[in-house]
Structure 1
Amino acid sequence: MEGQTLDWTRRSALGLLPAIALSACAGAARDQPLRFWAMSYEGDYSPLLMPPFTAATGIPVEVQSLPTTASHEKLLTAQAGGAMPDVLMLFNGWIQEFATIGAIAPVPTPALVADMFPGVLAATRIKGRDYAVPWSVAPQVQFYRRDILRQAGYETPPGDWDGWRTMARAIKRRRPDDFVFMMLLNWPTALINMLSQAGAVLLRDRDTRGNFQTTEARMTFAYYASLFADGFAPRALSTEVQDPVAAFAQGFFAIWPSGPPTLLDFKRRANELPVDRWSTARIAGPHGPGRLSGLSTSLCVSTTTSRPAEAWALVRHLSSASSELRYQRLIGNLPARASAWSSPQLAAPVLAPFAEQMREPAFSPPVIEWERIQIEIQLAAERVVRGLQTIDQALAALDTRVDRLLAKRRALVEAGKLA
Structure 2
Amino acid sequence: MGEGTTEWTRRAALGLLPALGLAGCASRRGSDAPLSLWAMSWEGDYSPHLMPAFTAATGIDVDVQSLPTTASHEKLLTAFAGGALPDVLMLFNGWVQEFATIGAIATVPSPALVADMFPGVLASTQVGGRDYAVPWSVAPQVQFYRRDILAAAGYDTPPEDWDGWRRMARAIKRRRPDDYVFLMLLNWPTALITMLSQAGSTMLRDRDTRGNFQTPEARAAFAYYASLYADGYAPMALSTEIQDPVAAFATGYCAIWPSGPTTLKDFARRADIIPRDRWATARLAGPHGIGPVSGLSSSLCVSTQTKRPREAWALVRHLTSAPSELDYQRLIGNLPARMGAWRSPQLADPVLRPFAAQMWQPASAPRVIEWERIQAEIQLAAERVVRGVQTLDAALAALDARVDRLLAKRRALVEAGTIL
TM-score by length of 1: 0.96
Aligned amino acid, residue 249 of structure 2:
F
Is 1:21 the counterpart of 2:23? The answer is yes
Which position in structure 1 is the counterpart of 2:100? 99
Q: How many pairs are equivalent?
A: 418
User: What's the CA shift for 1:370?
Assistant: 1.5
How far apart are the structure 2 equivalents of 1:369 and 1:69? 15
How far apart are the structure 2 equivalents of 1:237 and 1:29? 49
How far apart are the structure 2 equivalents of 1:345 and 1:28? 34
Structure 1 residues 318 and 30, CA gap change in structure 2 (3 angstroms): farther
Any residues of structure 2 matched to 1:330-349 within 5 Å, and which?
330-349=331-350
1:233-282 per-residue CA deviation (whole Å, 9 max, x = no partner) reads: 11122222121111110111010000001111110111101111000000
1:42-66 per-residue CA deviation (whole Å, 9 max, x = no partner) reads: 1111111111100111100011111
Aligned amino acid, residue 198 of structure 2:
Q
Is 1:129 the counterpart of 2:130? The answer is yes
Which position in structure 1 is the counterpart of 2:218? 217
Aligned amino acid, residue 390 of structure 1:
T
User: What's the CA shift for 1:140?
Assistant: 0.3
Which position in structure 2 is the counterpart of 1:87? 88
Which position in structure 1 is the counterpart of 2:322? 321
Aligned amino acid, residue 231 of structure 2:
D
Three-state SS of the structure 2 residue aligned to 1:329 is helix
User: What's the CA shift for 1:409?
Assistant: 2.0
Any residues of structure 2 matched to 1:199-218 within 5 Å, and which?
199-218=200-219
Any residues of structure 2 matched to 1:132-281 within 5 Å, and which?
132-281=133-282
Three-state SS of the structure 1 residue aligned to 2:22 is helix
How far apart are the structure 1 equivalents of 2:418 and 2:82? 21
Bigger drift between 237-246 and 331-340 goes to 237-246
How far apart are the structure 1 equivalents of 2:8 and 2:234? 49
> How high is the sequence identity, in percent, across the aligned residues?
78
How far apart are the structure 1 equivalents of 2:67 and 2:150? 41
Which position in structure 1 is the counterpart of 2:362? 361
Three-state SS of the structure 2 residue aligned to 1:134 is strand
Which position in structure 1 is the counterpart of 2:3? 3
User: What's the CA shift for 1:190?
Assistant: 0.9
Aligned amino acid, residue 102 of structure 1:
G
Any residues of structure 2 matched to 1:15-94 within 5 Å, and which?
15-18=15-18, 19-22=21-24, 27=28, 31-94=32-95
How far apart are the structure 2 equivalents of 1:304 and 1:2? 35
Which position in structure 2 is the counterpart of 1:282? 283
Three-state SS of the structure 1 residue aligned to 2:48 is helix
Aligned amino acid, residue 82 of structure 1:
G
Is the Cα–Cα contact under 8 Å of residues 30 and 59 in structure 1 kept in the other structure? no
Bigger drift between 66-75 and 282-291 goes to 66-75
User: What's the CA shift for 1:28?
Assistant: 6.9
User: What's the CA shift for 1:31?
Assistant: 2.9
1:108-156 per-residue CA deviation (whole Å, 9 max, x = no partner) reads: 1111111111111111122222111100000000000000000010000
Which position in structure 2 is the counterpart of 1:394? 395
How far apart are the structure 2 equivalents of 1:158 and 1:148? 14
How far apart are the structure 2 equivalents of 1:54 and 1:294? 32
1:279-334 per-residue CA deviation (whole Å, 9 max, x = no partner) reads: 00000000001011211000111122221111111001100111111111111110
User: What's the CA shift for 1:41?
Assistant: 1.2
Is the Cα–Cα contact under 8 Å of residues 378 and 399 in structure 2 kept in the other structure? yes
User: What's the CA shift for 1:30?
Assistant: 5.3
TM-score by length of 2: 0.96
User: What's the CA shift for 1:23?
Assistant: 6.9
Bigger drift between 160-169 and 108-117 goes to 108-117
User: What's the CA shift for 1:29?
Assistant: 7.8
How far apart are the structure 2 equivalents of 1:363 and 1:295? 12
How far apart are the structure 2 equivalents of 1:28 and 1:178? 60
How far apart are the structure 2 equivalents of 1:12 and 1:382? 49
How far apart are the structure 1 equivalents of 2:142 and 2:325? 20
How far apart are the structure 1 equivalents of 2:321 and 2:3? 15
Is the Cα–Cα contact under 8 Å of residues 30 and 60 in structure 1 kept in the other structure? no
Three-state SS of the structure 1 residue aligned to 2:240 is helix
Q: CA RMSD in A?
A: 1.5
How far apart are the structure 2 equivalents of 1:171 and 1:289? 21
How far apart are the structure 2 equivalents of 1:350 and 1:2? 23
Bigger drift between 381-390 and 284-293 goes to 381-390
Is the Cα–Cα contact under 8 Å of residues 250 and 273 in structure 2 kept in the other structure? yes
Aligned amino acid, residue 14 of structure 2:
L
Three-state SS of the structure 1 residue aligned to 2:136 is strand
Where structure 1 has 5 or more consecutive residues not aligned to the other structure, the ranges are: none
